[in-house]
Structure 1
Amino acid sequence: MSTALWHPQAHMPTTLKERLVIASAQGVWLTTEDGQRLLDLPAGLWYANIGHGRERVAQAAARQLTTLETYHLFGIHANRPALDLAERLRALVPVRDASIIFTSGGSDSIDAACKLARRYWQQLARPTKTIVLSRDGGYHGLHGFGTSIAGLDFNRAGYGTDSLIPETARIPLMDLAGTRAEIERIGPDNIAALVAEPVVGTGGVHPPSDGYLAGLQALCREFGILLIADEVVTGFGRTGEWFAGHRWGIEPDLMTMAKGLTSGYLPLGAVAVSDRVAEPFMAGDDAPIFRHGITYAGHATACAVAMENLDIIEDENLVERVGTLEPVLAAAFGALTASPLVQEVRSVGLMAGVQLLPDVAADDVIRGCRQRGVLTRLLAANTLHVCPPFVITPDEIRFAADVMADALAERYAA
């Protein structure tokens, strides 16, 4: 098999033996080049919220492409889809009077948010506030900052230092007392921001305990630390609210978005910046320039696709649908705890992690699911990924769980 394509996050010798080429998709179903039909249990990489193959989205992209494919946003320039989408996001996000920085995806958004957090404190003449905290088990993409703040140690390993950007540190995953102790050890005058996923995703799907996120926000406010909520996975309905911040009652200083913003139809990300953080850069002739930007930030066609995606979510009441399907998914996959190979099942909204015992060969279970018509993948801590598109039916949820149960039983019998 050809080595022309180097896959991301892949053990290439294995990939070259088992490459799975997806040829087409519709709704929650994928079709491979060799004709196999697979239920897309991970929604791609957490992104296919409205499902695959939407003609409305293709038509929206075509209309924009034949009008203005894009024009950059640097300096005084703008395009209408970017302006309209920024206003729409301001009205949706749980961030006060948000200004929107557009990016090309989640990793871009994390880099922009972390840079802005540091730049903000420099502008306020607080030069020692440079350290960015993140949680054990957290995942925030793989750009410079994302790699440096990774709470999954293997994503930081192999580059010659513990962190590409040295001013980073980890805090415990769900431990407010331990977080307070670490903040006090480092010194709040040295900390710029704390980045947290409301629901840990790649780290194994860990929903927050009761009161945890509110407590984390309170600590940030007590110590003068900017809270960056990473809603790249949870945003746009995944937890049964438009954003996890709504579900758990937090109002971050900055919030990162991507994935569900376009449901994967085109690459686009964003950072919602609160008025508090934006204000020093917005007012007065002597306001500084935030020297950050990427060529395709606010790409006109990507923004038009995002607008159509949001229209579909609203027209079809898909956020409410997630709330309706949440107990169906919890019951179907929760039943897998009956398997002697399963350590725990964690779920919230339309996302779950089926954690296998440490010595279970998860790849064998994944292959067993694939042979039976369900595609899943491995997350951290030997956890199987469950995060279907919002258009999945209750019967399809139960089918996917039954397939996983059969694959587990086959593995146990072996």
Structure 2
Amino acid sequence: MNTTTPLVTIERVEKEDKTSSALCSVMGFYPRDISVNIVIDQTIMEDSVLTEHRTNADGTYSINKTWTIPTDVSPKFLSCLVHHETLSPYVQKDLQLTYQGQQNDNETNVGAIVGVIIGVLILLVLIGAVYYYKKKAGSQKCSMGDIESPVWIDGAKTVLSCKASNCTGDAQVIWVIQSKDGTRLEVSENPSTDMEEEEALMSMEYKVTRNIVSQKKGKLHDVTTKLTFIPSMSRHLWTTVTCRISDNKEVMEKTYGPNSILAKPKFNEPVKSTLSPRGEVELSATLQSFYPEKMEIRWSSESAKYQEKFQSKENRSNYGNTFNLESKCTVPGELFKNPEFKVMVTWKHESMECPEFRELSAKDLPWHPKLQTIPIESVFQGDKVLLQCRVSDYFPDALVVKWLEKKMGSQELVEITSSEKKENLYQILTVIFLS
């Protein structure tokens, strides 16, 4: 079935006991994996309730998430934040809340608003005149751009940047990192010495830089600040980052997030192999500690003489915020008799720039031939001697055994062709000559 983008709505539901709740409905999506959160002021409501997946007639899924609004809390906005593989990177639906007291005040002030409109029109004319004068005089207001950030990957250094233009003073920069549980940490170019020990240790994980470039005309300058750190699944999943720039008495802020993190899969070396009673080779590959859950993995042979895709079975599990996957594949043992035959397992994940793979041939299998020591008794010149060598514990059954002799006074090894095989016992009848 093709992927389907979810339809997201959020609404306020009034109850008979005069309480209310926020209902986030996510409908008609495929595949099944999805993340739904209700957010207030960039904080995820952990006590929200998620329903079970419902299967629609067309094979897609629907799901609801509900959060009961406490009577002592009056948020102005609610947001429903949905992450799904069809969204880039997510979709957010906002809901503005009004309350009874506010509604009455609005009705009372309707007449006053009409009167204010006339005053606003006059004020707009004055503002336009002042703006024109300032623009003509070359005065410009400091402005701040959005935070630029690459994709966050667990364990890989990440640099966020933000730029402010047309600043007039010595602009000061503070970056604010707010974790999923609401913990906030402020870091700057010159950390404060008044921090508590735990907060000071946490701030050491982050590096803040600031670069000021003066413009060619006037006394204005541009400020570029960067925040460098190494994202961690345990500390930074759904983290929000805010950049705060102060220029003279003006304070500007831009926020990035809540942000997800990609964790690259770790391959558990080597590919494991077992031998079935029917002579089939059962192969197993394990990938660990990746996020999100979606993973593409396949088994194939792409040699010049043999090309095929093999069916596999997958077993998935999760540990903390990350996922593990074990993929198993069965290959006919007869194929490994060809020394050019190779099996390849290939995997691709959102966190990887390109697919990775491992190859396996007969020489990589653990069943290597074991040779029994050749027993030699006391012999005399001219005696006929039967030499025997037992070879065991090998796979596949494609073994070639050669007997070689080296005559006295010569360093050359010469093949003896009159050997024979009885099961796994290789023997040769020869005559001993001593000189």
Same fold (TM over 0.5): no
Higher relative contact order (CA 8 A, sep 6+): 1
Q: Which is richer in strand?
A: 2
Report the structure, 1 or 2, having the larger helix content.
Answer: 1
Structure number with larger C-alpha Rg? 2
Q: TM-score by structure 2 length?
A: 0.23
Under a length normalisation based on structure 1, what TM-score does the superposition of the two structures give?
Answer: 0.23
